[in-house]
Amino acid sequence: MKDSRFSPLSVILNTFFICVIVYFIEYKFLYSKIVLLFGSMIVSTVFTIFAVFFALRVLRVNPFQIGFIKNPAKITVGAIVPTVILGICALITLFAIKHFIYAHGFSLEISFRISTSKLETNTTVISYIISILVAAISAFMLESLLRGLILRVATEHFGFCIANILNVTLTITWHMLIYIFSIIFTNMSTSTFLISILFTCIIYGTSSARKSLYVWATQSIWHCIFDCFISLFVIRNVVLTVNLPIDFIPSNTLEKILVFLTSNSVNSNYLTIAFICAVNILSLIVMIIYYQLLKTRALKKYIKQMKENDL
């Protein structure tokens, strides 16, 4: 990376907070209209993409240096690895939840619902196309900002540990914004806000750490982009529903937890959110194991090369 007359940390933070301001403006003045059409805040998403690449230009950093590797094999692996990891973790989590629900004599309904609104009433095909495109653009934006600009550039200047702390902190902050704005400008209750913040820290803290390991192991952010897309379009749109009898009275702690998870508030399905949390925690554990295997493999390869050179 070429030297720049601007401080990398100041460029990273200024870019992030400018994007937060645009995010706020869209939430305050365009939220209902934009979300009604696309199911997501697309204006701030597109702006953030341009802001990231402008920041890279200011820092004199080539996009390929932050992980946009052109190698087709690495791009393919970047698509396969997160798909397999998240897929396996989601199936294991669904099996565990289903077993727990069935063990207490209830049934579990699993459905897939995309989060578009107005367009969904016209044609499902258009809704799916819009949802896929929005998820892809959002994934590209989030990973370009958080893992590309913040993690990769900060790692180059401050080391991986400091960069990862900054990356996790700003990732959680970014995803908290919607709840912060909601409690300030809407009638969101304090309890719902606190629960949302707790789940946000768990979900995005673990997912950020998992993606950091992708970057650390491969020096590419394609894994992160595909991982984020799968999370946004597939994992987030899985809806779990349990219908408990009206007169059901929990007799133990586990049943009390079950009642809480099935007591949905407005726009919240706690069982579904708990499912997403479990998938992210489990996938982080799997990624740590996968990373250790890659590390061991690389070490063995290095030792073998050293022995061959000695001969």
Q: How does pLDDT run across 215-257, given as a tens digit for each residue? A: 888 888 999 999 999 998 888 888 887 766 666 666 667 666 6
Q: Pick the more confident residue, 144 or 311.
A: 144
Of residues 63 and 269, more confidence is placed in 63
Share of the chain above pLDDT 90, in %: 37
Read off the pLDDT band of 303 (50, 70, 90).
confident
Q: The pTM is what?
A: 0.85
pLDDT over 60 (residue 152): yes
190-211 confidence digits (pLDDT tens): 888 888 899 999 999 999 999 9
pLDDT surpasses 80 at 279 = yes
71 — pLDDT class (breaks 50, 70, 90): confident
pLDDT band at 267 (very low <50, low <70, confident <90, very high): very low
What is the pLDDT at residue 217? Answer: 83
Give domain limits for the chain: 8-310
Higher pLDDT, 104 or 64: 64
Would you state the pLDDT for residue 115?
A: 57
**pLDDT, position 117:** 47
Q: What pLDDT shows up at residue 265?
A: 46
Average pLDDT over residues 138-167: 91
pLDDT at 295 over 90: no
The more confidently predicted of residues 257 and 56 is: 56
| 4 has a pLDDT exceeding 80 | no
Whether the per-residue pLDDT at 142 is higher than 80: the answer is yes
Q: Are 44 and 20 in contact (CB under 8 A)?
A: no
Which comes out higher in pLDDT, residue 130 or 4? 130
Confidence class of residue 14 from pLDDT cuts 50, 70 and 90?
very high
- Contact 25/174 with Cβ under 8 angstroms? no
106: pLDDT strictly greater than 70:
yes
Beta bridge partners of 240: 110
Report yes or no: 104 and 252 within 8 Å, Cβ to Cβ.
no
Model pLDDT, residue 201: 94
